[in-house]
Amino acid sequence: MKREIEGTGLSGKSGIALMIAATLLTPVQALAQRSPATPAAPLDLTRQVQPSVPPASGPVSGPVSVPAPGAPAPLPPEVVAPVAPEPVPVPHWTKADAQALLVAIRGIGSEGLLAKDYQPEALSAAIAKGEGPALDDVATRLFSWLIEDLRDGRTPMPARVQWFAVDPDQDTNPTQLVVASALEKHDIKGALTALLPTHPDYAALKDALPKATTPAQTAQIRANMDRWRWLARDLGTQYLLTNVPEQMLRLTVRNKIIKSYKVVVGKPGRTATPQLAETVEGVIFNPTWTVPQSIVVGEGLGARLVNNPKQAEREGYKVTKAADGTIYVVQQPGDNNSLGRMKLDMPNEHAIFLHDTPSKAAFNQPMRALSHGCIRVQGAVELAMTMGILGAAMTPEDVALAHTSKVYTKVPMTKTFPVYITYFTVARDVNGMLRSFSDVYGRDAPVIASFAKPRELHTTQRKSAEEVIKLDNPL
């Protein structure tokens, strides 16, 4: 392991990839089994950091039901009238539970929400009139609103620009069940606390909120607390997380950063990187790149190479022409491949993924919002090796061989490995310091503006309704 692995530029003695390959797996597994203490992060919000930037037909088996003579024929399945659900009875509220809810509402400002949204005066008046249907109706309605906002976020979906990360929490903790459990246990506070995000950054923002010195700072912290509620409450044991405004990637286990990487993200505008919650399905060593038609046709690459296979080979391309005349150009593996020597396969409708790049100079720039949407990773080969070990049960020798073969090699993941592409303008940096980052896409304003308006009722919308732009150009 002391010799340098070909093409990595990393030695067994000093290269993090080989250290991880040789020694990291067991410590990381041990870390995943214990809950780390997270030290309080120093607060420095006065300084803004620029980002280091039809089913098949066939014979029917089994008994067949035949209607009696004169009976109406059954409706075919596609026209059967829907059955209206039974109305859910409004649960009964004791005066004590209603009082506990009132206390929670009046103190909800500590979670970055606004007490006035949950009508404390109306609840107080209903409590004063005593137990009964009126109190049950008011308390259930306001408790449900509070559950929804703590679990899913207060910000209306139209204000969550390019947010395509679907939050699963309303499926795992449906409102009706949360209400029923809280009243059965007479534990309103506990039910609400159980909905809060578990990530340390949420706690850091909560601690910073009362220390904010200006209304603008308060509004920005509140907006970023809400963004955590747009994600799953628990991100998982191990995951990758990119914060676009910071332009950094973290490999995280039990919410502790194992390794961080500089990244290049999408340029503002149409090629801005959208916010996603996806799953890595494989690690690709020495990837190929199918050149988009915007380059094949728009820049004349296909026409130049289609009748010159030797030139195409010299430049590292394979060119084919379909029966309909469409020219396809695929860049072959190699050091000059636009995806570099690694790609993380994370299928999504936006064609966004994390990858290497042969152009390393951009990582030295303070503002790295430069790509066509995909995320370029500094030290991507190291990340690929680590992912291969942690998520695909590869040995250190396996990952070294996959890389140095210079042959396209896709390794399927054997463990679920989430990847989150997020957008936080106030967050802990990779050193644990709470910082503000440049709002590179201008996405704070609509969130902050929504808090200045009356609360909107939640809808069934789970992600942004904006156009899905396929961003498959790593250049």
**What was the pLDDT predicted at 85?**
55
Does one domain contain both 313 and 212? Answer: no
At residue 241, what are phi and psi to the nearest 5 degrees?
-140, 125
Query: Could you tell me if 464 and 339 lie in one domain?
Result: yes
Query: Hey, how many other C-beta atoms are within 10 angstroms of the C-beta on 470?
Result: 12
Q: What is the pairing mode between strands 276-285 and 248-253?
A: unpaired
Model confidence, pTM? 0.83
Same domain? For 247 and 396 the reply is yes
220 with 273, same domain: the answer is no
Residue 327 corresponds to which tokens in the numbers above?
A: 């020219």
Q: For the chain, 475 residues long, give each residue's pLDDT as a single digit of tens.
A: 333 333 444 444 334 445 544 444 444 545 544 444 344 444 455 455 454 444 443 333 333 344 444 444 454 544 445 555 567 789 999 999 999 999 999 999 999 999 999 999 999 999 999 999 999 999 999 999 999 999 999 999 999 999 999 999 999 999 999 999 999 999 999 999 999 999 999 999 999 999 999 999 999 999 999 999 999 999 999 999 999 999 999 999 988 999 999 999 999 999 999 999 999 999 999 999 999 888 899 999 999 999 999 999 999 999 999 999 999 999 999 999 999 999 999 999 999 999 999 999 999 999 999 998 899 999 999 999 999 999 999 999 999 999 999 999 999 999 989 999 999 999 999 999 999 999 999 999 999 999 999 999 999 999 999 988 876 666 5
Residues 387, 415 within the same domain: yes
Residues 180 and 192 in one domain: yes
Please tell me whether residues 160 and 265 are part of one structural domain. no
* Structural domain range at position 133: 95-226
Our measurement of the distance from residue 123's CA atom to the centroid of its chain's CA atoms, rounded to an integer in Å, reads 36
Of 226, 246, 263, which closes a domain? 226
Q: Tokens at residue 41, please?
A: 């992060």
In a domain, 182, yes or no: yes
Of 196, 226, 256, the residue at which a domain comes to its end is: 226
Instruction: State whether residue 77 is helix, strand or coil.
Output: helix
Q: 211 is written with which tokens?
A: 């220390």
Residues 409 and 295 in one domain: no
Q: Are residues 278 and 294 in the same domain?
A: no
Whether residues 189 and 257 share a domain: the answer is no
**Do 440 and 379 fall into the same domain?**
yes
